[in-house]
Amino acid sequence: MSHLLASYNNTLSSILGWVSIACWIVVYSPQIHENYSLQSGEGLSLIFVYVWLLGDITNMTGAILAGLLPTVIILGVYYTLCDLILLFQVYYYRWKATKYQVSESVEETPLLIDTNAQNKREVSSTKGIAIRYAGALSFVMITGVLAWWISSNITLPEKPQKHRSSSITWVIQVLGWTSAICYLGSRIPQIIKNFSTRCEGLAPALFFFSILGNATYSLSICVKSMEKEYLITNGSWLAGSALTIFLDLAVLSQFSYYRYLAFKRVQPGSTIENTS
């Protein structure tokens, strides 16, 4: 009975892990597309992206030292490249705006967005948004399950377990906790920036998929085993994923609040002033 339960837990953990990977593959796409559409990356806090980049680099380095699967390391490289793309967009569109004098004051009014157009975007059909998110959610779920099914039907030769020195083990743990702290700390400057930008130029799907990816990843760890030693070993990755969910929820609550204000502004007889 215990053997069957362990097998079930391993299968469920693997499925959740693959769903998490599917989420993280698409998580950057909405923001990259948002920046391209607006020809501006000023909705992002640069500190947020830089600290996130540091977290991805330390996470990738830890994966390499731990000798994790090549797919995990490749994903780490992919995350790092996506961070660099976001940074490139911010600086490129700033340079472009300055060169062509699109804005007279990029520093004071960083978002080159028409207010009326933005209001229309904010109050767009809730039903349409729900359909898009449901479709995206279905996509990552199906992709994750399909990836698990393919991987479970591929037999790879087992590599002998390599003995790691205590110093390497400690380095991996330090990198893991550094990555967790970076992931947590990166959200704070973005939350602060949102109070001034009212979340303009920021793609909510970035944080939606981040929440889903972190939730499924955390569950994949806990479902596999709740033994004390196992949880301590994976503590940094578990903390970095689980605690970040709450900060991402704070960002999504900001989106909801400013969307509500935008909706009230376009209502007849509204007394809410546009203070953006």
Q: pLDDT tens digits, residue range 36-56?
A: 999 999 999 999 999 999 999
Confidence of residue 161 (pLDDT cuts 50, 70, 90): low
For the chain, the straight-line distance linking the first and the last C-alpha, in angstroms and rounded, comes to 61
Q: What angle do CA 126, 129, 134 make, to 5 degrees?
A: 125
> Does the pLDDT at position 274 exceed 60?
no
Structure confidence at residue 107 (pLDDT): 47
Please give the residue that has the higher pLDDT: either 104 or 184. 184
C-alpha distance from residue 144 to each of 41, 42, 63 (Å): 30, 32, 21
Dist. CA 250–CA 209, nearest whole Å? 14
Dist. CA 96–CA 87, nearest whole Å? 14
Task: Supply 36's token pair.
Answer: 């391209």
For residue 124, which amino acid is it?
S
- For residue 263, give every residue at least 6 positions away whose Cβ sits within 8 Å of its Cβ, in sequence order, or none: 122, 123
- For residue 253, give every residue at least 6 positions away whose Cβ sits within 8 Å of its Cβ, in sequence order, or none: none
What is the three-state SS of 39-68? Answer: CCCCCCCHHHHHHHHHHHHHHHHHHHHCCC
Of 99, 104, 108, 100, give the one whose Cα is nearest residue 42. Answer: 108
What is the share, in percent, of the chain residues with pLDDT greater than 70?
78
Do 111 and 247 form a contact (C-beta atoms < 8 A)?
no
Q: What is the mean pLDDT of residues 156-164?
A: 60
For tokens 């929440």, name the residue: 211
3-state helix, strand, coil in the chain (%, to 5): 75, 0, 25
Structure confidence at residue 106 (pLDDT): 45
Q: Please state the pTM of the whole predicted model.
A: 0.80
Please, what sign has the CA dihedral across residues 106, 111, 116, 117? positive
Do 160 and 39 form a contact (C-beta atoms < 8 A)?
no
